[in-house]
Structures are given as structure tokens and as C-alpha cells.
Amino acid sequence: MDKRTFLKTSSALLAGSFLTPFKPMIPKNLQEIRTNWAGNLEYSASNYYQPRTLNELQELVSRLEKLRILGTRHCFNTVADSTENQISLDRMDHIMKLDEEAETVTISAGVTYGELGPYLDERGYALHNLASLPHISVVGACATATHGSGVENGNLATAVSGIEFIDADGELHHLTREEDGDKFNGAVVALGSLGVVTKLTLNVEPAYQMRQFVYLQLPVSELENNFEEIMSAGYSVSLFTDYQSDSVNQVWVKQKIEGDAAALPDPGQNFFGATLADRHVHPIIEISAENCTRQMGITGPWYNRLPHFRLEFTPSSGKELQAEYFVPQDHAVEAYQQISSMKSDLEPLLMISEIRTIAEDDLWMSTASGRPSVAFHFTCQQNWEELKKVLPVIEEKLRPFDVRPHWGKMFTMSPSRLESVFDHIDDFRNLLAEYDPTGKFQNAFVRQNIIGS
């Protein structure tokens, strides 16, 4: 199958049936932004807009019948796609405004975590958590419930305390956590379907320093007996494994430094049977650690330690497909065992798997909504033909734990399964109908997976 057929087939399989779009001649300099970051998806939109002002944006939204907003293009599936119109807000002013009294920062839609981190840190402030990479837009990340790790840390959208968006008529709305209760909980993780988010207000906290250590070869028996203790050993803990042996390949422990760094205890050579790494490592051990944030206990600002990957380098491996599944934390070990039982199916495809924890939240469409969660992430070869055979098996094995998929990554779960594991999906549909009665912001992905048509 050639690349074009592959792209079309994989989009159709993910997003359900849709009309074959008219493919315009796209100027060369736009070619790159007409595919997603991983290059596995060529967007189908016939028209691509880059407004420069709020007025231009409102005019566009009122005029167009169907549209989707594009962030930094890091989703692997068709959630950001449109067969009609895509709008990028990247050319609009990137605004970051700290309110020290309220301990919040308000950002405009184009801003990435890579821009926001240093801005806040220079002013003495920080966010509570970050994803594995800083390259992504804050709004796009919150829209899909993007997360980092830490048993006490909610996903990135839990920092949102206010949201400004344009509805289907081009009208501007503001919702806040304080004043809008349930409506706010439905609006934050909205998969780009409620309207065009123009601003988010995020809670901030005093800036902090961190250090991280990596341990190699954690015996699985130790993980099975001490899962909670291991995942609570730092502010944020990630496990990396390929499930091929009776050890977990790597444990990344990120510690928040309170007080004097020099007075902190030594990490110790041994961590539940795993050995302290004596060099910087990449989660995929064969890849150079150059693109990873500094390890070996070297102190650094929060925005340079919470992500695994450095802003100035390509994150992860590049040409890949990602999938991720969330189960309640008290099923973590059983879920691990179920996935391990598939090690021969995973071996040809899996580059690396990451296991993280996420605190419970009350955002309707969040993957951690109503339950403290553990996430099993899979970075795989870019081979959808093979991966689409393996994902349903993982989904079936994790089904007893009411598994939920990551909204921005590959999955094959049926709409009826999604409906049964996202408790507020009906409330969410009603909220969409209130702000977007004609489905202007809905694409094939949303119609299939959320609306059910």
C-alpha cells in the first residue's frame, strides 16, 4: 500500500466514514503544516486559515459552516482534522499575562509550554506539571487531557481556572471554575468541539527547582508488590519498559527540591532492586540522551526537568505512532500483567512503553475524570496496518478495568465502549448543543466517537 492510500485508510478507520475531500494544490511552504507532527496523517481540510486578529477570527467563525482549530499538530489521530476548514491561531499575538495577586497566568491560544515555562520561571512562578515534551500548545494539550505523572498531580487541564472561547455564532464567552461549576467542567477538555478557545487562565505556584534520577532494571516482582510506593517515590515518577523481560527497563524519579539542594540525601545506588544509572539515558536506551532533560541529580528549573525531552530537540523518536490507555490506579498491577501477557505481540511494534499516574479530577471528558488513574503509553513503529491488529487486543485485556483511551492518540475502541466509560458523555453532548447547535465544530472523529452518528 502506498503512503497516500495508507494515510487515507488509517484516517477513515479512525474517524469513521467521511466524504473524500477535495485536495487543493498546497503551496510548498504549507506542506509541512498540512500533516501532523509524526507525519502519519495528512490533514484533509480543503482550506487552511491563519487569522491575525480576534476580529478576523470571529468573522471567519461566523462565516464558515464547518471548521476545526489546529494547535501544534501533535495528535496522532484525526481529532484535529476537518474535511472543510482548519484554522491555526499561531499568527495571532502570543500573550502571557501573570496576575501575581490571583496567582494565575492568562495565555492566548498560540502559546506553547516551551514559551510559558521560562516566562513564568523568570517571574518566580511555575505550573504544577508538564507533559513529556514542552513543544505542544497549552490549549491543544488541555483540549485532549494531556498529562504528565505524579500520584498527586492532576492532568495539565486541571490547572485551568478560566476559559474564553468563541461559539458557533462568533460570540465570545468566558467561563470560570469558581462561577460556572459543571459547565466549566465540561468546557475545559472539549476536544476542540465546543468552540474556538482564545484564552486560558491557569493556576500558578511559586517556582521550584527539581532534580531527576534514573534507575535501571526494576524487577517486576518489586513493582507488583510495591506499585504505590514506587510511583510515590518522587514528585513525578515514570516507568519505561518493553515488557520483554522480568524487569522494567527504567524508572525516572523527578524530585521537587524544597530548601537547600546540597542538604538533600543521596539517591542511593539501589531502588527496589533497580540500579542507579551512571549516565544520562534516553527512554529508548539505544537512542542518544542528547534530546533528554538532564538527569544524574543535576538541579534545574521545573520546566527543564518535568518534561523528558528538551525544547530545542526532537522529542521521543520522531517517526512513530502512539497509543495510551488509562485504568483506575487500584488496577495498575493487574493491568500491567495483562499487557505483559502480550509481549510477543508487542515485540515487533513497540519501541517503548511508559507508565505514569494521574490524580483524579472532575473534568467531564478527562481520562482521569472521577478516578485516580494509571496510564499505559505505547510508542510504536509507524505501522498502522500492524498496530491496528494489536490495539484491540490491549483494549480487550484492559476492558475489565473500564479502560479509557487518550483522546489524542491511536485507539480502536467502539463508540459504545467510550459511552460506557466516560460517565459524562451525555452531559457533554448537551453542552456542545448549547454553544454549537448545528455542529459547526464537529468533525468525523467527534461525530463518531462522541456524538454517536
Ligand X SMILES: Cc1cc2nc3c(=O)[nH]c(=O)nc-3n(C[C@H](O)[C@H](O)[C@H](O)COP(=O)(O)OP(=O)(O)OC[C@H]3O[C@@H](n4cnc5c(N)ncnc54)[C@H](O)[C@@H]3O)c2cc1C
Give the residues lining the site for ligand X (CB under 6 A): 37-38, 68-75, 79-80, 89, 109, 131-133, 136-137, 139-141, 143-144, 146-147, 191-192, 196-197, 315-316, 406, 408
Distance CA 399, CA 324 (A): 14
Sign of CA dihedral 121, 127, 133, 136: negative
**Least Å distance between CB 439 and ligand X?**
14
Give the CB-nearest residue to ligand X: 140
CA distance 42 to 86: 12
Q: Using CA atoms, how far apart are residues 249 and 379, in angstroms rounded to an integer?
A: 14
DSSP secondary structure of 324-346: EEEEEGGGHHHHHHHHHTTHHHH
Closest C-alpha to 125, from 102, 100, 154, 97 = 100
Q: Least CB distance from residue 31 to ligand X, whole Å?
A: 17
Of residues 220 and 317, the one with the C-beta less far from ligand X: 317
Distance of CA 343 to the CA centre of its chain: 25
**DSSP, residue by residue, 64-107:** -SS-EEE-SS--SSGGG--SSEEEE-TTS---EEEETTTTEEEE
Question: Quick one: DSSP state of residue 112?
Answer: B
C-alpha cell at 193: 468541539
- Least distance from C-beta 408 to ligand X, angstroms? 2
Nearer to ligand X, 154 or 315 (CB): 315
> Judged by CB, which is closer to ligand X: 76, or 215?
76
**With respect to ligand X, which residue has the nearer C-beta, 131 or 175?**
131
Q: Are 224 and 241 spatial neighbours (Cβ–Cβ below 8 Å)? A: no
| Shortest separation between residue 336's beta carbon and ligand X, angstroms | 19
Q: Closest distance between ligand X and the C-beta of residue 267, in Å? A: 23
What's the closest the beta carbon of residue 180 comes to ligand X, in angstroms? 17
Judged on CB neighbours under 10 Å (0-12, 13-18, 19+), 176 is middle
Give the nearer residue to ligand X in terms of CB position, either 79 or 223: 79
Which one, 60 or 139, has the nearer CB to ligand X? 139
Q: Whose Cβ is closer to ligand X: residue 147's or residue 424's? A: 147
Rg (CA), the chain: 21
State the minimum distance, in angstroms, from the CB of residue 225 to ligand X. 27
Question: Residue 326 and residue 235: Cα distance in Å, rounded?
Answer: 20
CB of 68 vs ligand X, minimal distance in Å: 5
Q: Which residues contact 84 (CB under 8 A, 6 or more apart)?
A: 21, 45, 46, 47, 64, 65, 66, 67
Dist. CA 232–CA 234, nearest whole Å: 5
Q: What is the nearest approach in angstroms of ligand X to the Cβ of residue 77?
A: 9
Of 108 and 267, CB closest to ligand X: 108
Helix (H) or strand (E) holding 286: none
CB of 314 to ligand X, least distance (A): 8
Helix (H) or strand (E) holding 292: none
Comparison of 148 and 267: residue with beta carbon closer to ligand X: 148
Residue 270, class by beta-carbon neighbours within 10 Å (0-12 exposed, 13-18 middle, 19+ buried)? exposed
